[in-house]
Amino acid sequence: MRRLLAPVVLGLFALLAGGASAQDMSGFSKQQRSDIIRFAANNSLFVLYHEMAHLLVDQLRLPVLGKEEDAADNMATWTLLNKRTPEAHTALADAAEGWLLTGVAYGSGKYEEDFSAAHSLDKQRAYQIVCLMVGSDDKAFRPIANQYAIARDRQDSCFWDYELADRSLLGVLQEHRSSGGAAKVNVTYHDAGGRLKLAADAFRSSGVFDQVAAEVRDNYRLRRPVKFNARRCGEANAYYDPDTIEIIFCYELMKDFMELYAAELPDPVGPAPRPSGAGKDKGGSH
């Protein structure tokens, strides 16, 4: 799950609720609209792989040393890196940027309780993604590590971070993985209208929900059925429910990602106001 946007932050991201809303992006260029949806879909994909990690830890009784939320982030990053495709690499770059964007939006690290929370600070989560990226392939990902101003000696030591994550995940998952699969996974998209219609349609069209469901269905032996439900929740959230063995994705979260990215773009054409103070970082209980 993730933290809710505070009312003041919701006000800052009212850009898309005006003339260029998440329901009507006509104020943006075709390329900008494409970029907004790509960014939101990629961040949703990372979140879903994170929730898949919680599912696997729960159902396969995987050992976790340290914070489970950190382990879930590492598994999500590792899963995308092992796809070895430009699209997966772009998804990771978008996810890192997303954590930066939401960190400022949610004030991650601003409050004392943030330091005792189950999650690392949003900015730390962004840097950990980039660290694992450069650790997995320093030649391919040195540019993004430099962009994040990660010191060269830390970039080099990220190799050991990735090597440890890779060895650990391969070790604990090997006995549970099957090329034939054995998990029964049911995917449901619930209807959403009004201000969530565009976000809900974009989320379904992106295919990320089906992609992660297929990953579970095709690669892991699970004895109990798994449900994937996309729906209106009343909050921007995504989470795994161990009681119902269910991954829930809230359309509000897709809308949230769209608005976060749109707030970083140049002023759209038309009367929609530009919010002041839009910044960088993603957070919450997902």
- pLDDT, tens digit, 9 for 90 and up, residues 234-271: 999 999 999 999 999 999 999 999 999 998 887 655 54
Looking at the chain, which runs of residues are DSSP E strands? 185-189, 226-231, 238-241, 246-250
Residue 199 in tokens: 């976000």
**C-beta separation of 150 from 130 below 8 A:** yes
Residue 216 lies in a domain: yes
Q: Residue 285: exposed, middle, or buried by beta-carbon count in 10 A (0-12, 13-18, 19+)?
A: middle
Residues 6+ apart with CB under 8 A from 171: none
Residue 281 lies in a domain: no
**How many domains are there within the chain?**
1
**How far is Cα 210 from Cα 73, in angstroms, rounded to an integer?**
20
Residue 135 scores a pLDDT above 50: yes
Residue 2 lies in a domain: no
Which one is predicted more confidently, 69 or 11?
Answer: 69
What's the pTM? 0.84
- Supply the pLDDT for residue 276: 34
Band of the pLDDT at 118, cuts 50, 70, 90? Answer: low
- Supply the pLDDT for residue 223: 86
Residue 272 lies in a domain: no
Residue 112 lies in a domain: yes
Residue 277 lies in a domain: no
Residue 157 lies in a domain: yes
- Supply the pLDDT for residue 8: 29
Give tens-digit pLDDT for 182-210. 789 999 999 998 999 999 999 999 999 99
Residue 31 lies in a domain: yes
Region 140-157: mean pLDDT is 96
- Structural domain that includes position 45: 7-262
Give tens-digit pLDDT for 82-114. 999 999 999 999 999 999 898 877 766 677 676
